Each structure stands twice: as structure tokens, then as C-alpha cells.
Structure 1
Amino acid sequence: MSTETTRNPRITPATDSAATDRAAFGSDWEAWHAGHEKQRASEHGFLAITGLHFLTEEPQRFEDAPGAWSATAAGPVVDLAEGEELGLDAGPLTGRHAFGPIAERAGLNAIAGNAVIEVAKRGGHIVVRPRHPDTAFRAAYQGTPTYLPNPRWVVDARYLPFETPREVTVGASVEGLQHVYEAPGEIEFELRGETFRLTVFNGYVPGSFLVLFTDATSGITTYAANRTVSVAAPDASGVTSIDFNRAVNLPCAYTDYATCPLPPAENRLPIGIEAGEKTPLDRITVEL
């Protein structure tokens, strides 16, 4: 070993474990977010929606979907004129077709050429939401701006289950609409020396949670109405973590054709969460 090296020991960034971990953290986040953006901009994703139609008892026709649509006590019905056709897993549909009951927050997709016609139930209403892959908005989409990923926004959390799950009613991005979710409990975490609690809803993976929230950045650098972050199932002692770097926008940040839920009042954080996705640069606005 030379005298110079002995007097001036240095650790280069390539061998600095903290720097390496930070680089790995950022790389992992980049891969995750790229996948999230790809799904968002998929050919029949929310960027491809061309309308949000609330069905009534009176049959209605829409420019972006074949057939005359109505809502009955037994579920949605479509009447297809001669030359009109839809496709379902069971095969092609012609004439009159009754879809049967649809559960809240459930739905089905019918095929019309290269388009998907979503038929769903939201807030007690049956809606038809066509998705056309050739929309100008989808073609022009260049991604969502974000904060730089930072491990400091990964916080330990403790799950506090309710004695029995509670029904929580929240507003929606569509005026007059409400959603009811089952909340199994809360998660508690500390940030900047303060303790906070958030009501959680059941996530897409069994045992996991979904958190709707706003914070002090909402309406400034992040979307005003809501953001959401998924939380992994807690371990046997109730411990989990929240990675706010993976806080994402809901579809209503991009389109007025969404029915997204708003956070419950207790999930409006008084501090700024400078992590995750920011306000989109563009959106689809309904022309009234």
C-alpha cells in the first residue's frame, strides 16, 4: 500500500453502501413507476375513456358506443339495432341483451371493434364508460411528473384494527355521488416527530390496505382531490410500512369521466408529503 493511500483513505461512491442502497432504491422505484405508467396508458386504460354515461330507465344512445342502453331493476340492458354487435366472453351479442345484476364497484367489458365498453356500478348507479384506444389524449400522453424517490419517505407503521370493520361513506369526484367502503382499521405512523393515523380500506391483495389521502401539497404540487398509496399486509405483530414514494394519482386526476372516491376527513394530513406523483400536466375535461 502506498504512503499516499494510507494518509488519505477514501471510499468512492461505487463502494459506499449508503450510495449503493440509494441507487438501488431509485432503480427499483423507476422500474415500478414505469410499469404503473404503462398500465395507465394501456390501450383500454383510463386515458382511452371517451364518456361517462349514467343509465336511466329510458333507453339512451351514445356516440361512442353501439346500442340503446337502459337500467332496469334486474340490471343494465342494451338494445342493438340491425348491423350493431357487441362481444362478450360468451360470444357475440345482437338484438336485446340483459346483462343481469352488477355488484357495487364491479363491472364487465363488452367489445365493440377495437373499443371496450365498460358497464359498471358506481355509487349505486349503472354507468357505461367506453374506452377507445385511438383517443388523442392517450396518443399525446407523455407521463406524470413525480418527486424524486427518496428512502426518507418510507415510514414504519402499525396496524390498529377496529373491533369490527366499519362502513365509511366518502364523496366522489362526480358531484352528488358517494361511495361506501369497508374499513378494517387504521395505520399509525410517525413523521417529523409527529404521530398520525390514517383510515385504511381493503387492498387488492388479500390482507393489504389501500389509503386515500390528501396533504399540504394537495392543490399546489400534487392533485388537489386525492392520492392513493398501497400498504402491504402487516406482520403477526401488526407492523408494516408506508412508502409514500409510491403515492399515485387516481383516474380523476386525468379525466372528468372518472368516479373516484375522495379521502375520509381524517385522512387529510396537515403536513406535506413531498413524494410520489405530482399533478398531471394535462387532463380530459368534459365540455358542458
Structure 2
Amino acid sequence: MSTTGMTSEDARDAHRLWTEWRERRHEKVSAPYGPLALTGTHWLADHPDGRLPGIPGHWAEAPGGAGVLLTATAEDGLRLDGEPRPLTGRALLGVDGTPATARVALGDRRLLVMRREGLWAVRDFDPRSPGRRAFAGIDAFDYDERWVREGRFRPYAQGTRTVTVENADGKERGLSVAGELSFTLGGETHVLRAGAEGDGSLWVVFADATSGVSSYRFRFLYPAVPDGKGRVRVDFNRALLPPCAFADHFICPFPPAGNALPVAVEAGERFALTR
């Protein structure tokens, strides 16, 4: 497997930056409202009576799909927008940004409103979740500069495409892909379908020969924004565990067709560790 021509000083800097990235990653995952805090995802369509398991109040889709209509009494103990007094009456809720900034709280818990595939849901984040208490870190392969590859991204001429993939909850959903990311491993050229973020950076869902054996069944990769010629560094040392590796209630897309590498990518995160 060839390298990317890094000098020894470049390699030391890359290793240091990777170590710092690992520390930040651990802090983010183990944060009070990080992925380990998720204890439930409740789809309103599955609860036509408006009652969600373990969550007080009445939750229903607003007329015309304009949001989620929450009806609560003081006894429910739901607080809205950080107000010290519980919500009494109705509130129209839209999509929340992050669990920490979710509009509705129940004690230390944050109830995040989300919308996927036209359906509304409420996610329950609890900093005292069993998963967060049991978390002992993220196991990862040792850093190896050989897994830093020079790649090239070629966007689709017709623009973003939607491919159907299975998700971690067993349902099939659309996954947006914007082009193809190519690179070499062991002298062979490989191509992965990649999505594009709002800032132009890439997002890849992939599997390889370690998946389900010496690492989680699939992983995510976030290469930076390609340059004007489509060139982009692909660093498998920063391959991430998907959110569903930390909590069962996340909906994670499986790799699309063609995104299973035949080689063992012994780089990046492997498993979430528990005590």
C-alpha cells in the first residue's frame, strides 16, 4: 500500500492532530446530550392517541403537517424554552437543532422534535441513560499514515441522486448521493458513492472486510471540501462509528450498493466500549 508522500514531520503532525481529534470525539460522544443519551425515538404516526411511551403530555401532528402540537398541564412537568414554570396549554413545535437546544425539557431530559421522510417524531435524550453510564470509550485501530489517501471526487452531471438503502431500524429510505469518490488501496482503484454536506464537504457510508468482524458493521467518513480539481484527502484513520453504534434508537443508513470495500480497512474507530 503506497503512501501519500508525507514527510516524517508531516506524519508526526498528522498523528498529533489525530490524537487531539480522538479526544474531542470522546468528549462529544460522552456529552450529557450526546448520542449515548438517546433512550427513545417515538414516531407520532405510531401513536395516534398522542401518548408517547414514558413522556407526559399529548403530542400530535399539527394540521397540514405544520409541526407538532404539544398539549400539556402543569402536572406533566414539561418546560418550554427554558421557562421555570411548566407548560400549561398548547405549543406549536418545529424541528429542533440539537438535543441541548431542544425547546421542550422534562427535568434533565431533552425532548427533541424531528422530521424524516415527511414523518414527525420525538427523541428522548436523558443524560442519566444506562448507555452513557456504561460508556468506557471508543476502541480504534492505531494511527497509520498509510491509510491517508489522495482521492478525487467527481460529482454527478445530473446533480444529486437518491438511492434506496436499508436503515438500522429495518426500513428502507432514500439516501442522497452527489458523486463518486475514487482512491487507491494496495495498488487497486476503488470508488465509493458520496453525499455532499451544505458546505461542500463529503459524507460516505462504507463497509469493508473488517465490518462485523474486527470493527462495527459499517462506518462513516467525512472528507473535506474537494479542491477545484476535485482532489481531496481521504483519511481512513478518521472513520467514525455511526450513531446507532452507541444507541439502538438512531436511524442510520446502511452503505449503498458499491460501498463495500473488498479490503480490510484497519483504520479508524472499531467499537464502542462499555464498562
TM-score class, shorter-chain normalisation, is 0.7 to 0.9
Residue 3 of structure 2 corresponds to which residue in structure 1?
Answer: none
1 or 2 for the larger relative contact order (CA 8 Å, sep ≥6)?
2
Residue 178 of structure 1 corresponds to which residue in structure 2?
Answer: 173
Cα distance in structure 2, aligned partners of 1:61 and 1:248: 32
SS of the aligned residue for 2:60 comes to: strand
Q: Where do residues 166-205 of structure 1 align in structure 2 (5 Å cutoff)?
A: 166-181=161-176, 183-203=177-197
Total equivalences in the alignment? 260
What's the offset of the Cα at 1:262? Answer: 1.2
Is 1:122–1:179's contact at 8 Å kept on the other side of the alignment?
A: no
Cα distance in structure 2, aligned partners of 1:70 and 1:171: 27
What's the offset of the Cα at 1:106? Answer: 9.4
Cα distance in structure 2, aligned partners of 1:112 and 1:27: 41
SS of the aligned residue for 1:42 comes to: coil
Residue 210 of structure 1 corresponds to which residue in structure 2?
Answer: 203
Cα distance in structure 1, aligned partners of 2:261 and 2:19: 26
Q: Where do residues 186-265 of structure 1 align in structure 2 (5 Å cutoff)?
A: 186-203=180-197, 206-224=199-217, 226-265=218-257
SS of the aligned residue for 1:240 comes to: strand
What's the offset of the Cα at 1:111? Answer: 2.3
Q: Where do residues 144-159 of structure 1 align in structure 2 (5 Å cutoff)?
A: 144-159=138-153
Greater gyration radius: 1
Matched, 1:38 2:8: no
Matched, 1:52 2:41: yes
Cα distance in structure 2, aligned partners of 1:159 and 1:111: 42
Residue 127 of structure 2 corresponds to which residue in structure 1?
Answer: 133
Residue 69 of structure 1 corresponds to which residue in structure 2?
Answer: 59
One-letter amino acid matched to 2:57: G
SS of the aligned residue for 2:138 comes to: coil
Identity %: 33
In structure 2, do the counterparts of structure 1 residues 171 and 90 end up closer, same or farther at CA, with 3 Å as the change threshold?
Answer: farther
Is 1:203–1:230's contact at 8 Å kept on the other side of the alignment?
A: no
Describe the superposition over 1:106-130 as per-residue Cα deviations: whole angstroms up to 9, x where unpaired.
9972222222111101233221111
What's the offset of the Cα at 1:54? Answer: 1.3
In structure 2, do the counterparts of structure 1 residues 94 and 277 end up closer, same or farther at CA, with 3 Å as the change threshold?
Answer: same
Residue 270 of structure 2 corresponds to which residue in structure 1?
Answer: 278
TM-score (norm 2): 0.86
Moved more, 117-126 or 210-219: 117-126
Cα distance in structure 1, aligned partners of 2:260 and 2:232: 21
Kindly report the root-mean-square deviation, in angstroms, between the aligned alpha carbons of the 2 structures.
2.4
Is 2:70–2:92's contact at 8 Å kept on the other side of the alignment?
A: yes
Residue 116 of structure 2 corresponds to which residue in structure 1?
Answer: 122
One-letter amino acid matched to 2:175: V
In structure 2, do the counterparts of structure 1 residues 161 and 173 end up closer, same or farther at CA, with 3 Å as the change threshold?
Answer: same
What's the offset of the Cα at 1:148? Answer: 0.3
Is 1:106–1:121's contact at 8 Å kept on the other side of the alignment?
A: no
Q: 1:99 aligns with which of 93, 97, 106?
A: 93
Unmatched segments (≥5 aa) in structure 2: 1-6
Describe the superposition over 1:234-276 as per-residue Cα deviations: whole angstroms up to 9, x where unpaired.
1111111100000000111121111111111111111111100
